[in-house]
Amino acid sequence: MTRPRILVVGAGFAGVECVRRLERKLSPGEADITLVTPFAYQLYLPLLPQVASGVLTPQSIALSLRRSEKYRTRIIPGGAIGVDLKAKVCVIRMITDKIVNERYDYIVLTPGSVTRTFDIPGLTEHAFGMKTLAEAAYIRDHVISQLDLADASQDPAERAARLQFVVVGGGYAGTETAACLQRLTHAAVKRYPRLDPGLIKWHLIDIAPRLMPELGEKLGRSAQEVLRRRGIEVSLGVSIEKAGPEEVTFTDGRVIPTRTLIWTAGVVASPLIATLGAETVKGRLAVTPEMCLPGSDGVFALGDAAAVPDLAKGDGAVCPPTAQHAMRQGRRAADNIIAALRNQPMQPYVHKDLGLVVDLGGKDAVSKPLGVELHGLPAQVVARGYHWGALRTNVAKTRVMTNWLLNAVAGDDFVRTGFQARKPAKLKDFEFTDAYLTPEQVREHVEQTLPRPA
Ligand SMILES: Cc1cc2nc3c(=O)[nH]c(=O)nc-3n(C[C@H](O)[C@H](O)[C@H](O)COP(=O)(O)OP(=O)(O)OC[C@H]3O[C@@H](n4cnc5c(N)ncnc54)[C@H](O)[C@@H]3O)c2cc1C
């Protein structure tokens, strides 16, 4: 008899937690586990701004998928580009570009999210995202190269433009990005004696009236105060009218000469979800509290890609797209698959939010663990302690701690690697959003390529 095939799509917080739990709780004879992932690591996204600012090396937040005592999952190096729910087939583009079909009995969809963009002229052509390791490494090189080029330029207008930086998005990702990168340029400029530090200007803008509304008014104001003290100009109720290669126009009419526009104004579910042709809630796959897709046998979806009802909150709320929920949903989904395999009842996902931590670099942070409002050093201890504890492997914990200590003692060398220089660096180049099939193309592909029953 063949074993049931469990296919997990995406090796992020939700997918890896699910796989690890399945490996621990299922005997090898009970099911085959396969993981589809374009990368050989799980990215610890909340520490991405620290990679961009050089506090951490990229490798320290890229956690190996193969370092685990019970590791036995088959890994397919590629990305899913469509799912045919009827045929129970996932269409995968391997990293070699070869397209293959993978059959499953149970599929766990955890492809996460991509940067949300709007129909703003020039945005996708000129903005950088902060969602992948490559983007963080690219932005770091880009920011340092602006200092190098400004230093070398004889043209005062060019020098001023290269030293202005715009971050859009006042959620935790954008706020942390602006705060950490401002610390980078503030420290780096000391190595450029010919540059006037007063020319360096960071802008953080958001269309909302407050920064990080989920933190509450007091902590949001406290974060804003830290940014203002550091010289970051925070503009609320403002967005981008248009973006060009050498300037950005704000909706309040200001035109900012700049070569750096970082766009972190929210996320949307991975385009993979649209290939299913199933019901969605604001782009996320609509699932039951057990994280099952209604009407489709053996389909689970969780993490940023799914609208999982938030039973702890009630009132029809869905879980926000956070790592905290994704990890816990991963474990619950694994338990539910095991229950399904053993003909036992599934359990709904219920988790009360533990709060939020926001690292603004150095001794600055704001956090709200279990509703307690903290700022300054105590908040930073909680923020770093939380992330450190959440890193999955001891090797990753050691790498991150060593990086933090080294950075605190020796600072940064502001080295520009040039690895990605002259390569396309638009949002779609890093997030591969145009790689997916339409639901019709998926069906057509599967019909043409699957062997027909004799
Ligand atoms: C800068 C930043 C800071 C953040 N800070 C925090 C924080 O402090 N606290 C917090 O709780 N949350 C934070 N988040 C949000 C958090 O990282 C996400 O909510 C979480 O990663 C979602 O987990 P996931 O498993 O759904 O997706 P992810 O962790 O994003 O994993 C998705 C995985 O699927 C892979 N994938 C994508 N498409 C495909 C495909 N077609 N086929 C196969 N694989 C695919 C991706 O490569 C990735 O490995 C932050 C996010 C960002 C960007």
pLDDT, averaged in runs of 10, over the chain (454 residues):
93 98 95 97 97 96 90 96 97 97 98 95 94 95 96 96 97 96 96 95 96 90 94 97 96 97 96 96 97 97 98 94 96 98 97 91 93 94 96 95 96 90 81 91 93 66
> Which atom of ligand 1 is found nearest the CA of 47?
3
For 373, phi then psi, to 5°, come to -90, 125
- Token pair of 362, please? 């150095």
What separation in Å is there between the alpha carbon of 433 and the centre of ligand 1? 15
Measured from the CB, is residue 46 less than 6 Å from ligand 1? yes
The encoded tokens of residue 163 equal: 């030293």
Structure tokens at 62: 């890229």
CATH number of 117-265: 3.50.50.100
How many angstroms separate the alpha carbon of residue 196 from the centre of ligand 1? 38
271 close to ligand 1 (CB < 6 Angstrom): no
385 SS3 class: helix
Beta bridge partners of 262: 128, 167
Q: By alpha-carbon position, which residue is closest to atom 29 of ligand 1? A: 12
Closest among 120, 122, 118, 142 to 130, alpha carbons compared: 142
Q: Is 322 in the pocket of ligand 1 (CB under 6 A)?
A: yes
Residue nearest to atom 7 of ligand 1 (CA): 46
The per-residue pLDDT for 422 is: 82
Amino acid at 129: G
CATH 3.50.50.100 domain position(s) in the chain: 117-265
- The Å distance, Cα 48 to ligand 1 centre, comes to 11
19 lines ligand 1 (CB under 6 A): no
Cα angle 417-420-196, degrees, rounded to a multiple of 5: 55
User: Per DSSP, what are the bridge partners of residue 365?
Assistant: 359
pLDDT of residue 1: 66
Ligand 1 center to 158 CA (angstroms): 36
CATH architecture designation of domain 5-115+268-353: 3-Layer(bba) Sandwich (3.50)
Start-to-end CA span in the chain (Å): 21
How far is the C-alpha of 295 from the C-alpha of 27, rounded, in Å?
29
Any atom of ligand 1 within 6 Å of the Cβ of 36: yes
- From residue 76, alpha-carbon distances to 249, 347, 397 in Å are 43, 29, 26
- Ligand 1 centroid – CA 10 distance (Å): 9
Instruction: Give 66: exposed, middle or buried? Use CB within 10 Å, 0-12, 13-18, 19+.
Output: exposed
Whether 442 is in the pocket of ligand 1, judged by its Cβ within 6 Å, is no
**Mutation to probe ligand 1, out of 175, 322, 324, 436 (largest number of atoms < 8 A from CB):** 322
Residue at token pair 């997916």: 436
Q: Mutation test of ligand 1: which of 18, 45, 284 has the most ligand atoms closer than 8 Å to its C-beta?
A: 45
What is residue 58's predicted lDDT score, i.e. its pLDDT? 95
Supply the pLDDT for residue 354: 87
Nearest to 168 by CA among 220, 113, 230, 241: 241
What confidence score (pLDDT) does residue 454 get? 59
Residue intervals of the chain classified under CATH 3.50.50.60 are 5-115+268-353
